[in-house]
A and B are shown apart, each in its own frame.
Chain A
Amino acid sequence: MAEPVAGAPAALTRKDFESDQEVRWCPGCGDYSVLANIQRVLPEFGIPRENFVFVSGIGCSSRFPYYMNTYGFHTIHGRAPAFATGIKLARPELSVWVVTGDGDGLSIGGNHLLHAIRRNVDLQIMLFNNRIYGLTKGQFSPTSRLGMKNKSIPMGVIDHPVDPIGFALGAGATFVARVIDVDAVGLQEVLRRAYAHRGTAFIEILQNCPVFNDGEWQALEDRRTRADAGLPLEHGKPLVFGAKGRRRGIRIEHGVPHVVELADDADPVAAGVTVHDERVERPAYAFSLASLTPPDFPTPTGVLRAVERPSYDRLLEEQVATARQQRGPGDLRALLHSGDTWTVE
């Protein structure tokens, strides 16, 4: 989250955040929905448009900055978190957003994503996960499911996939959320929460690639199945899911999740269902949530973890301020004359 800037402008609208560039994603791409929802939410933050910077790597989703009428930097493959870190450390007052994908962020860029998250640089990182390489036309990605057949491995994927949420938690993420591309309400709410978080806000966006991996998240998107396939998280509310007549809850015991059958009128808490607490300091609980995967469990969406830890950019600013307090502003002459000197007559 960026500091409020004096003289906040007149209210902005979604239009103000649309650039003059023609959007060039495939028809039906999940990226359109994310773009539209970002453009809807940003005006709510009350900071001038020029204080937003969108930074991306390489891939379909990384074209995102071109479509935002803010400052934008389309960088190189996998390195967006490092560029964004430089921007944020240079100018902590800016609101810096990273747009990356499962290939960009977790394959070539895994290292940079890890370090941005563990430093807790105050960035919003949106990882668009479509479980496929789109821009290079259909090779498997590090999140592709085992056995999935595609161009670069016709006999089926044999790489064990990485779970973006588990990865972020392992890196010590202070804010971890998962949203579905077409869920406008859920997406907007998570974007607001991510903006308000001080530190790295990591958001996995389950995004459909209609060309190379269509229907990957269909169970979560489809009206008929989503109540059973998804588990919407709400802080302080029990972990309950399922359509009417199939109501169930999740009890997490010693880190191990169990499904609890619930009558439609049952009190889930009394039935032993775990109450969601995104603020648990130790990550074990969030890891347990991350371990909820189909077919045995519903997929949690919403904020899995939101804890406080000083952000790297703030700590760096504090060091600069402390150094100035202790030593005064830098004096070049004093520096050049420090140590032993002598005069030649």
Chain B
Amino acid sequence: MPTAQAPPAARAPKPHQRIDRVAIRFAGDSGDGMQLTGTKFTESTALAGNDLSTLPDFPAEIRAPAGTLAGVSGFQIHFSSTDVRTPADQPDVLVAMNPAALKANLGDVRPGGMVIINSDAFSDKSLERAGYQDDPLPDARERFRLVEIPLTRLTFEALADLNLSQREGARSKNFFALGLMYWLYGRPLESTLRWIASRFSGEIAEANRRVLMAGIHFGETSELFPVSFEVPPAKIEPGLYRNITGNTALAWGAVAASVQMERPLFVGAYPITPASDVLHELAKHRHFGIRTFQAEDEIAAAAAAIGAAFAGQLALTVTSGPGFLLKQEALNLAVMTELPIVAVDVQRAGPSTGMPTKTEQADLLMTIHGRSSDSPVPVLAPATPGECFSVMIEAFRIAVKYMTPVVVLSDGYLANSAEPWKIPALETLPRTPVVYHSEREDFSPYRRVPDTLARPWAIPGTPGLEHRIGGIEKQDVSGNVSYLPANHQRMTDLRHEKVERIAAEFPPLEPRGAGSGRLLVVGWGGTHGAIATAVDEARAAGREVAHLHLRQLNPLPRDLGAVLARFERVLVPELNAGQLVRILRDRYLVPAQSYSKVQGQPFHVSELRAAIDRALEA
């Protein structure tokens, strides 16, 4: 066993077989470190040059009872030498650290796929705790390529001469699984070793390193694995890449907006799954002048952000569905006072507390219609984790240019899933420095810029522009309190018209596949990868179908009606009970069909393929 010298590449002397793509799912108890294992495997896979997509899937409980189905945590990664847009419907390989992980995940594995288990964890007691009446392994041996490895024992053996407790030692066993998978798919090791050295110290660092290496050596020497696999690098656009999750991209996009607009960022937030990581990431960067404020509740978080916007900062509030609902009142004030804030809703499965760690896209109608009275806000939705970066720059640009709150709808899937992201050159990012209103002559707080209808952003501290704003209806131009009937009509119309005018800036819609024809599949948000893959597959199979993915949900693009009219049929797949489809029917009077899924899980490509075929046949 090597000790201190440079590690060998994880490349076996055994023959290796070239494959195009593979999907692996790591599953274990919440305490088994499966998210960490998946994340490290993802980083290494990205460095190997594959295209990839991931799906972390974990319980809301911090530590559900050990060994139970409720406590199973999973992480799926799909990687390929070609284009990958989804985490894959079915894993080809399942790594199950205990019987509960096997039980929760075996049904998803591709028939004949590989199932690697920690055989040490399969005692009668643990089988019972997972709810198995009979030993599942005989059946699994028939249906899958079952690989049984005494992972706990091998971990302890690797640590025999270290001075670690049983508990500390057992913690390293996920590194054995990781090492084995590194060997099996020829992943580079260096970044993980560097990470272990920086993240841990002393015997724990040594233990994790040794167990990782033991996993690799086990692959090399064990007869359980006659071959290893090679997944060649993908042909993707040249450039400098990194992995990014949607939540990190949202945070970095906000930082980039602040830098490019030359104004400090204020973040009002209250912890909520799955949005908290955006707050965590932004909280790390005080040196950018970012003031993160963890408020007493969601309402105060939004209120503080609006206060900061009134005072002239770029203001952000980040939450998930139940928190977004609480912010609606504050958002209504931002509509009335026409102040620029960005509110992000990382949607999760509901209603009420629902399933906090599971994805859904069911807050669209609440976002558009969920405030008292007529209260239009622009709504943007990123389609991929990487787009979460650019959408934030765009959201702040629109907020400031039009003096309006802007909502960004992400979701639990985008939040946690990762993809390779081409790091943008700074020169390519929009640069729109903020200029506050300072001209005293003819100043009125609601005197609008003629083309955008934006009111002036006149911030406290500016001499001569003292004024009062608030939630009471404003007199046009002067901003004074007004209850006049005709004025309310005019102000309501102006608020509506201002938001509608944003659509003048949207690029023309270009459906993927065809500009007209039999069927158009219209999606929005984080379902992009699954829909695009399904449509491509359907087209490859000769179906006459195209894909349009909406990034702007309010206002809708001006050419949307014309695009819809060029297709005989419209299918709208959504992870909700049918929301965008209602908007499209209402707005364009098209007989759009809904394809709905609300299971807390992303679409499978196969489901969408079948839905496309049905829509074409009907």
Contacts and interface: CB of A to CB of B under 8 A. Distances in A.
Interface stretch (A66-74, A144-152, A183-191, A213-221): A66-74
A316 B264 CA distance: 14
Chain B interface mostly: mixed
Contact of B311 (A52, A58, A86, A332): A86
Given A76-B303, A332-B255, 15 more contacts: A21-B481, A50-B464, A52-B460, A66-B481, A74-B468, A74-B470, A82-B300, A90-B311, A94-B311, A111-B296, A330-B288, A332-B256, A335-B285, A342-B241, A344-B233
B238 interface: yes
Given A50-B465, A336-B424, A340-B46, A89 B460 contact: no
A172 to B, nearest CB: 14
Contact of A79 (B242, B300, B312): B300
B423 interface: yes
A75 B333 contact: yes
B467 interface: yes
Contact of B330 (A50, A76, A341): A76
A21 B480 contact: yes
B481 A319 contact: no
B242 to A, nearest CB: 5
B480 A90 contact: no
Contacts of A75: 303, 306, 333, 470-471
B188 to A, nearest CB: 10
Given A76-B330, A342-B47, A91 B241 contact: no
B286 interface: yes
A224 interface: no
A341 B240 contact: yes
A71 B471 CA distance: 15
Contacts of B239: 343-344
B329 A76 contact: yes
B463 interface: yes
A29 interface: no
A73 B470 CA distance: 5
**What size tier do the contact residues of chain B reach?**
35 or more
Given A66-B468, A82-B303, A90-B291, A330 B241 contact: no
Contact of B307 (A65, A86, A111, A335): A86
B304 A85 contact: yes
Nearest to B286: A323
Contact of A84 (B238, B268, B297, B307): B307
B43 interface: yes
A333 interface: yes
A192 to B, nearest CB: 22
A83 interface: yes
Contacts of B467: 71-72
Contact of B240 (A53, A328, A342): A342
9 contacts: A49-B463, A65-B468, A68-B468, A72-B469, A82-B303, A91-B312, A112-B300, A320-B286, A324-B286
Contacts of B471: 58, 74-76
Given A90-B291, A324-B287, A50 B460 contact: yes
A75 B240 CA distance: 47
Contact of B236 (A21, A320, A327, A344): A344
B385 to A, nearest CB: 14
Contacts, number: 209
Contacts of A51: 460-461
Given A66-B468, A76-B329, A335-B255, A83 B288 contact: no
B308 A87 contact: yes
A345 interface: yes
A245 interface: no
A326 B287 CA distance: 8
Contacts of B142: none
Nearest to A74: B470
A21 B470 CA distance: 14
Given A330-B289, A340-B242, A73 B307 contact: yes
Contacts of A332: 255-256, 259, 426
Interface in A254-280: none
B245 to A, nearest CB: 12
B308 A90 contact: yes
B305 interface: yes
Contacts of B223: none
Contacts of B46: 340, 342
Interface in B310-369: 310-313, 315, 329-330, 332-333, 337
Contacts of A48: 463
B140 interface: no
A221 to B, nearest CB: 30
A85 B293 contact: yes
B543 to A, nearest CB: 32
B586 interface: no
